[in-house]
Copies of this chain bind each other. A is one copy, B any other.
């Protein structure tokens, strides 16, 4: 099954500064959820856009065949970490068709907020 698109855009991006609650599950984070239903591994190239400087990337990631990968923007390290408290956006390009959904968990205040949306296939 070849499901999805090779390119997706996410215009929203923000890593909240600070968290309440314990453990990585409750830490404030922003996630790129990718589904690869196909029979070949999908190589991702992620470009991160900012409001006041040139884009950074590509960040590389792999989503194996018939797998999902929920990648936290907070964990990206190479070529450089994404700073917290800064507006960004992202473009995801894949060697195979994938489906992309974007989620944030914000636990800066005493009880978490969550949000999600389908990314934009383009």
Contact = CB atoms under 8 A, between A and B. Distances in A.
Contacts of A109: 20-21, 26, 107, 110-112
Given A111-B110, A117-B118, A34 B11 contact: yes
A49 B35 contact: yes
A38 to B, nearest CB: 11
Given A107-B109, A109-B20, A70 B4 contact: no
A112 B106 CA distance: 8
B70 A87 contact: yes
B114 A115 contact: yes
Interface in A1-39: 1, 3-4, 7, 9-14, 16-17, 20-21, 25-26, 31, 33-35, 37
Interface of A: 1, 3-4, 7, 9-14, 16-17, 20-21, 25-26, 31, 33-35, 37, 47, 49-52, 54-55, 66-70, 85, 87-89, 91, 98-122
